[in-house]
Structure formats: C-alpha cells, structure tokens
A and B are shown apart, each in its own frame.
Chain A
C-alpha cells in the first residue's frame, strides 16, 4: 500500500478523522501555509497546481490560481519548491488534466515522484479517460485519487472505488469549490453510499466550509478536505491564519473522535 493510503488509514485505525487542507501552489505565502497546516494536525496536504481554466473551481480558488499564475508559478517551479518544503505529511497534487497531458504521462509521474509527491487528483479526468495516466502513476508509485460525485448511479460507484488509490474523493455537492453557509445534504448522502463499498478511506471535499461542517460530514465519512476555507484565509490574512484554522478544525474533530 502506498504512503498516502497508509497515513490516512493510520488516522482512521487510531479512531480519529482525516483532515486534508488544500493550498494553491505558487500563491504568495503558500509554502509557509503548507508548513503551518502540516504542524496543525493535517494528515496529508493537497497542493494545487494553478491552471488557466479551472472549471471545477469557484471564485476563491480561481482568484488564487490567477494570482499564482500572474506571479509566474509553473508546474516545474512549484515542484521544485515542494522539494524544499520539508514537511512530514504526504503531499498530493491537484491539477487539471492538460498539465499532465502536456508534460506527458510518464514524465509527469516521474516529476511528481522526484519531488516527493505521494498522490495526484485530476478533477477533469473521469474514470473512462483515466486509464493511461493511472498506469503511469501506478508505475511511479503515485496514488491517483478518484472523485465520486452525487450524480453517479449506483453501478458506477464500485468501479470508481476499485480504481481509487490513497482515498476516494467524495464530492460534497453539485457545484464547484467554494464555501457554503450549510453543508449540502448530498455530502453525507454520497459518503454514506461509498462507505459500504470500500476499505479505501472516504474523504468529503468541496463545500465543507468550517469546523462544524467538518464534524457533520465526518459523522458518515472518514474525514474532510478543506479547500476554499483555507485558501481564502491565505489570500486575506496569511499563512498563520491557515495554521490557526486547521488547528481549530482538528480540535473539533478530536473533540468528537479523539485519536488514540
């Protein structure tokens, strides 16, 4: 089993809930934000590689991506910086498929592996198109996280779970990334459909917007991803606010499900 999945299972086996923040790579202060998040109770960290056309992202992460691109961030510069991060949680990149396609499957997988990355999330690469990338990623020991969406019919979910490495990304709502006032009903409904199908950790992402919602989603799921809530704090305040926020969410999760 790869590094990413063992780290997440370790948390689950110890009785705790999984917490994975997302930070846009190349955004001012992002390396400090990753370190702060790692030191505040994260089980893994997603690093976004900014793309010109992020169709799964709402305004906050769009803005962060644009700022990072304007500051000159490239996949290569971000992966170079990743090598120097020196954090002890597994790192996962989240990137749109053209970034992978343009570099070439084998080459991209080996770039990730050389940078010490443990996994990859490619939100516009659904099951039917994922084969060639997954093969290259498997060969380079990069865990490809598959997404499952609330719109999936029942017969689709087992196939997604079977192909998932690291964790299953259970998409919390119909829509793009961004904070919402309440947790959508789809978040727990989908996680509830996935849980009986797989031993791979099921983690809810998209629209989990605060500690309270993280707890609510974790009643069914193995844990949560925190995206826009983290990136907004990095945009508005800075890396320290990211560390404080992750510590707050970790505290709330530990209150309900203490890690032994």
Chain B
C-alpha cells in the first residue's frame, strides 16, 4: 500500500478538513510520525513493546470444526489474544510512544465499544501520560464493564450526551477537547480516520497484523489465502490485515453493519477531518448509524477504504444484527472462542456466503474477544 499524496489523499479521499487551530498540530504530527517511522530506534522500541507487553506476534488458528461445517478452510488471525483483548493496542502503543517523543503530557481518545478507550488508558498508564476518554452516553450503558476498566486504569471517562450519543459524537467531543488543549495534548484517534496523517499513520501501526498473517499463512499453508475478511467500523483492523495482502490475488472483504453502511449506502462527504463515504441526508446532515455492536456504530469510514472501494480492489458488503447474533453463538459453540460482536460481522458474512466459497481458504481477522459483549448478549438471548 502506498503513501497518501502530499495533501493526505488516497485518490480523491482523505485530506485535512480541520479547524484552523488544529492545522499546525496536524502538520507537526505528520512530521513527527515521518521522523519516528524512519528512525530505527523508534521502530525498535515499538517492536519490543509490541512483543513484550502486547504479546505479538498474535497466532493464527485454523477452525477445523467450523471450517468443515461450512466447507471452507477457515483461518483466524487472533488479535483477540493481544493484551487488552483487541487489535486496538497496536495503534495505541505506536501513538503513545510517538506522543512521548513529541513531549506531550496528556492524551485524549474517543471510544465506541470501549476497546480503544481501554487500550488508550492502558498505554497511558504504562507510559505515564494523563488520559481522558470520551464515550457516547448510549455506549457507556451498553459497555459498562469497559468504562469501569478504563477508570481502574486511571483514565477519566466522560459520557457524551450530544447528537446520537454514540461513537461519532465521542469523536466530536474529543476534537473539541483537542482544539482547546492542543499544546499539551495528543489526540489518540482510534481508527484509520480523521485528518491527515491519521488514516495513514494508524494504518502503518496496524499493518503488523497483515504482515504477520501473510508470513504465517505462507508457512502453514504454503500459499496466500483466497479471501481476507474483516469487519469495518472506521476500518483499522481491516486495513491492517488488508495491508499484507493488497498485492496478492486475495479477495479483500470489509464487512459493514447493515445500519452503518458507509461505503454501501453513503456518498462522499466531509466530517471528522476527512473526505470519505459518509451516511448523510439530502442536505448533508450526518446520519446516525445503528448497529448491535458499539464499535461499528459509525456513519463514516476511513478514506483509504473509500479509495479501495472506488478502484474495485476491496468489497464492502453488509450483514444484519440477526446474522451477527447467530454467528457470535456459532463460533462460541463450534470453536470455543467468543468473538467480539464487531468481528462476528466478518463471520456472519462468511457463513452467509459459504456456498460460493467452497474449498477456499478464508482468512478472517478476529479483531477482538467477546467478553465485553457478554452482558449485552445475555440480555438479547434471554
């Protein structure tokens, strides 16, 4: 995957649509990231911390029972086994290490499911940074355990009551905080979205998922997978695993929730600093997404996904909440793995499409573990 253009564009998507106050901060961050990414000492520090703290490399697991039932070879990339239970830690360790290098004392973050918030609170504790997490009031309710976890880790969590009271509003509030605190604070954005350099920087921090998986697949099976599948909220776990395979013949599938289909139902728009596919009404008001999973409740998508969709390199189908609930239980019962509701979307697509995938090797990014979703599922299933 290539670098974005000088104006932060992937094709016609991306850019830097931020209040004037934040332009110098974005420029400074871009320069700091370029320097750090080219610095073997930074890269070495990051690798060491990913290994010794986060538990990388994450393994791959072949699902023999479920695969046999579906008639495919199903392989999971186990991001659920990372410290804090999801892929989010890869990006957060990168960004907090960078924030320290830039002399920042404090980070702010938005969170949907709470996984990015927990990862941010964790990294902040590790690195001695102050941390504040914004979370939509609706999500604070459905992810109460993660809220408590963040507080245990020493972060301040603020419930956001504006707008749809979910992830998009948490991003708004984090940006408002950053506008006021930009001199001391780094905004630790949780997905491949936002103004340049975030979509590119966050992708670089997650490409370790795809790079590892490509090597592991070739060692284990002697070939690349036929299909690579991941769920898409903002799109960070998907872009991470796609990065390893974009130059192969593998089909790349990013699965969106039916109620948050930015690529499927959106038209290009500008919000949160980027031009990308966006669910909006006839006047450009951003619409609320609706999904069973808080982490995918986002009406936009990272600009590089819009680009991959526009050139036809990746596909972005949707699945319904009902399909996700079935897939969640199926994986638990057949493989003894409780997936996060987010990546249960990826499995739901595989299950639905298995007829056309017979005999194929399907690599799925298991982006997180489902412990955080157990209380919510208990209610849904009772």
Contact = CB atoms under 8 A, between A and B. Distances in A.
Nearest to B164: A52
A52 B183 CA distance: 27
Contact of B270 (A69, A101, A176): A101
A174 B182 CA distance: 8
B20 A171 contact: yes
A123 B179 CA distance: 12
Contacts of A54: 172
A247 B244 CA distance: 64
Interface string A118-161: 00000111111100000000000000001111111100100010
Given A102-B280, A103-B284, A52 B23 contact: no
Contacts of A129: 7, 15-17
A132 to B, nearest CB: 11
B271 interface: yes
Contact of A149 (B15, B19, B271, B273): B19
B24 A151 contact: yes
A153 B31 CA distance: 15
Contacts of B186: none
Contacts, number: 116
Given A55-B19, A98-B284, A149-B21, A128 B180 contact: no
Interface residues of B, number: 38
Given A97-B17, A98-B280, A148-B20, A58 B176 contact: yes
B24 A53 contact: no
A174 B21 contact: yes
B16 A53 contact: no
A103 B40 CA distance: 47
B163 A151 contact: no
Contacts of A51: 284-285
B270 A98 contact: yes
Contacts of B268: 101
A56 interface: yes
Contact of A127 (B23, B176, B269, B270): B23
Given A52-B163, A98-B270, A123 B172 contact: no
B184 to A, nearest CB: 10
Interface residues of A, number: 41
Contacts of B273: 124
A175 interface: yes
B18 interface: yes
Given A174-B182, A174-B183, A101 B284 contact: yes
Given A101-B284, A174-B179, A124 B15 contact: no
Given A53-B163, A149-B19, A174-B180, 10 more contacts: A52-B285, A55-B179, A56-B19, A56-B176, A98-B278, A99-B283, A124-B273, A151-B23, A151-B183, A176-B179
Interface of B: 7, 15-25, 162-163, 168-169, 172, 175-176, 179-183, 268-273, 275, 278, 280, 283-287
